[in-house]
Amino acid sequence: MPELTVVDAAPLGVFGGTFDPVHLGHLRLAEEAADALGLVKVRWVPAGQPALRQTPKVSPAQRLEMVRLAIAGNPRFELDACEVEAAQPSYTVPTLERLRLPNTCGAARPIVLLVGADAFSGMVGWHRWTSLFDLAHVAVAHRPGFPIVAASLPPALADTYRERYSEDPGVLRAAPGGRIVSFAMTQLDISATKVRALLSQGLSTRYLVPDSSAAYIAAHQLYSEN
């Protein structure tokens, strides 16, 4: 994508996750973020080998394919396979550094990293997490069971939150990164953990997982206990 000046560059959303599997909570988060924050696109970045959690139940290539199927046909969504193809642990800061290269997003365009409220509170455990704000803004999606309250965040993150938080999503256009905003989304108490549990019991995940991904799961017999 050609490099633009900050003035005419709408922010690019970046949405990372394990997506094990992708579900409608993820899709609504990305769709509502695009509207609420005025994002030109949302770039989905499935993790290869997630650094901070157990090895996913299915292969990185299969998780990538389920996301590809889920976002197909949405002109605001695009897929970034780099973390999956890297075949090494996935870290957010190096991914953002890659996006900042001139031949991808460049230095000027605002980048907004989209995270759910649970992932945000765990950010202090991320590799080089403080460097993140040199590279991108962070937009925190409300998630059932995870209120966004400075007092309940780890101290280092609470300080960062107070210092960088704005109630005005307009700040996202004013600089390439460095601010934190939050946004309300349709509250969907769906998690990949719950989806995996249903599948392992042979129960329906209809209306929790997009049909295209569900068909892929069925065809490849993923997440079943057998």
Single out the residue of 6, 4, 11 nearest to residue 39, CA to CA.
11
Residues 12, 119, 172, 214: which binds ligand ATP (CB under 6 A)? Answer: 119
Q: For the CA atoms of the chain, what is the radius of gyration? A: 17
For ligand ATP, the closer CB: 101 or 147: 147
113 forms part of the interface with ligand ATP (CB under 6 A): no
For residue 178, the Cα-to-chain-centroid distance in whole angstroms is 17
Q: With contact defined as beta carbons under 8 Å apart, do 180 and 138 qualify?
A: yes
Name the minimum Å distance from CB 175 to ligand ATP.
Answer: 22
What residues from 190 to 209 belong to the interface with ligand ATP (CB under 6 A)?
A: 190-193
Q: Specify the stretch interacting with ligand ATP by CB under 6 A; choose among 20-28, 34-42, 93-101, 171-179.
A: 20-28
What residues from 31 to 50 belong to the interface with ligand ATP (CB under 6 A)?
A: none
Name the minimum Å distance from CB 30 to ligand ATP.
Answer: 9
Angle, CA of 133, 139 and 140, to the nearest 5°: 120
Q: Which two tokens stand for residue 124?
A: 């202090």
Q: With contact defined as beta carbons under 8 Å apart, do 183 and 142 qualify?
A: yes
- Binding interface with ligand ATP (CB under 6 A): 17-20, 25-26, 29, 115-116, 118-119, 141, 143, 188, 190-193
